[in-house]
Amino acid sequence: MNAQRALRSFRAPEEAATQERTWTVVRDAYRMREPIRRRRPRGRLLLVPAVAIVLAAVTLSPAGATVGRWIRHALGVPHAAPALFRLPAPGSVLVSGAGGTWTIAADGSSRRLGPWREASWSPHGLFVAVTRSDHVAAVDPHGTLHWALARPAARDPSWYVPTGYRVAYLSGRTLRVVAGDGTGDGLLATGVASVAPAWQPGSAYRLAYVTRSGVLVVRGADSKRIIWTAPLSGQARELTWSADGGRLLAVTDTRASLYDPSGRKVATVAALPGTPIRAASLSPDGTALALIRGSSNQDVVVLRFGSATPRARRVLSGAGLRQLAWSPDGHWLLVGWPAADQWVFVRVTGMPRIAAVSRIARQFSAHASAKDGFPRIEGWCCTTSGTAG
């Protein structure tokens, strides 16, 4: 047998399937690339209308007004509201930071839940799992403590959906799981990366997490059996299951990948060189993906998977955009802009609209500077029968 002929006749596994999967990634990268600048003679005067259009869009942008699709090269939205008077969509926003954990209701009223550094809504917004350096706990939306456990370096709590019977959290480099009433706390895994674990909604307590060596693991929390694993490319940032548990989104700085419940990769969005992915969020119905990408200047991009040819739509641009959260109805995105000390609400369905609120750090912490006091957006939850609505 001729070795050269054997090599030439060799066919790798799943060549056709990988080709189709990769074509969608390559095509999206091609569509999202910066167009090649063609050298055309153009006078200085030609630049004036372009600048004027951008400036007009910015200066004519009162909070809540229609401003077109995006703002570029500006630090913050001018004429932002000085305080959060109301949310543009139903639900309640949860934030944490140096000033503790707060809930903000749809009417703009806010409530401090305590000196917690990280938080996570329970499935129906009736409780909040919270952590600080030495404790993990559950409180209600009034801030009343229901249970607490002393654990070193506790962070990234996550509540099982839809029953709330389990809470997963990180403690140092370990992943632990406790029952929703604070009992039965136990170790699930060691050598875990600093990425919040994510429960598969409706599953038999299956939990996704990332190891320190960059491997995505889906594991039964009660059985402790590993269901499947997959290596991740790049530095892991975020894990999210779609609300129906049918898709797992794994985000690294270089790509956002969607997996089905058996671990098969069904879609990937690759970051272009020099435009790392900073944050990503799957819409509540799982049909759209919002990304913040870019190095010095960032874009907020929404990809919709509903059609055969998903297109990326840029909805906001600016320097220092960092966090994302979808409204429960999937119509709005809340974008954190620490560099501008603003929250920006961007309507991503129907007519594009932008509403901005300034002085966020001051509202939710004693720190006057955004650098120290800008809170982390933990989630924008469902309406509840309690105070969350």
Partner 1 sequence: MHRGPGAPLPLPSAADSLVASGPLPRTRRPRSRSERALIRGALAGSEADLEALFRAHWPRAYRAAFLIVHDHAAAEDIAQEAFVQAIRRLDRFDRRRRFAPWLGAIVANRAIDWLRARTARRESGQEPPETAAAADPPRGTYSEEVLTALAELGPEHRAVVVMRYVLEYTPGEIAQALDLPRGTVNSRLRRGLDALESRLEKAEPA
Q: Which of residues 31-90 bind partner 1 (CB under 8 A)?
A: 31, 33, 35-36
Candidate list 230, 312, 319, 339; residue touching partner 1; CB under 8 A: 230
SS3 249: strand
Terminal-to-terminal C-alpha distance of the chain = 73
41, 43, 49, 231: which one contacts partner 1 (CB under 8 A)?
231
Nearer to partner 1, 110 or 194 (CB): 194
Residue 375 near residue 360 (C-beta atoms within 8 A)? yes
Closest separation between CB of residue 244 and partner 1, Å?
4
Judged by beta carbon, residue 250 or residue 355, the one nearer partner 1 is 250
Which residue from 219, 217, 218, 221 is spatially nearest to 180, judged by alpha carbons? 221
Stretch that binds partner 1, among 46-54, 91-99, 210-218, 369-377 (CB under 8 A): 210-218
Q: Are 315 and 71 in contact (CB under 8 A)?
A: no
Residues 359 to 388 in contact with partner 1, rule: CB under 8 A: none
Q: How far is the CB of 243 from partner 1 (least distance, A)?
A: 7
3 state SS of 126? coil
| Binding residues among 1-30 for partner 1 as defined by CB under 8 A | 1-15, 18-27, 29-30
Is 226 near partner 1 (CB under 8 A)? yes
Residue 281 has which token pair? 């969020």
Three-class DSSP labels, 344-387: EEEECCCCCEEEEEECHHHHHCCCCCHHHHCCEEEEEECCCCCC
At 8, which helix (H) or strand (E)? helix 3-8
How many residues bind partner 1 (CB under 8 A)? The answer is: 76
Out of 183, 213, 296, 385, which residue is the one contacting partner 1 (CB under 8 A)? 213
Minimum distance from CB of 333 to partner 1 (Å)? 19
Taking CB under 8 A as the criterion, which residues in 282-321 touch partner 1?
Answer: 285-287, 305-310
- Out of 82, 152, 186, 263, which residue is the one contacting partner 1 (CB under 8 A)? 263
Nearer to partner 1 (CB atom), residue 189 or residue 370: 189
Tell me the HSE value of 356 on the side-chain side, using a 13 A CA sphere: 23
Selected binder of partner 1 within 71, 105, 236, 243 (CB under 8 A): 243
* Token pair 């309640």 in the structure block, residue: 92
Q: Which of 163, 174, 194, 233 binds partner 1 (CB under 8 A)?
A: 233
CA dist 345 and 332 (Å) reads 6
CB of 148 to partner 1, least distance (A): 32
Q: How far is the CB of 150 from partner 1 (least distance, A)?
A: 29
Question: What tokens does 384 get?
Answer: 């509840």
Note whether 260 binds partner 1 by CB under 8 A: yes
Window of 39-47, 48-56, 87-95, 254-262 that interacts with partner 1 by CB under 8 A? 254-262
Residue 204 C-beta: closest distance to partner 1, Å: 9
Q: List own/partner pairs for 331-338 with CB under 8 A and 24 or more apart.
A: 331/89, 332/88, 332/89, 333/281, 333/290, 333/300, 333/302, 334/93, 334/377, 334/380, 335/292, 335/300, 336/360, 336/374, 336/376, 336/377, 337/76, 338/370, 338/371, 338/374
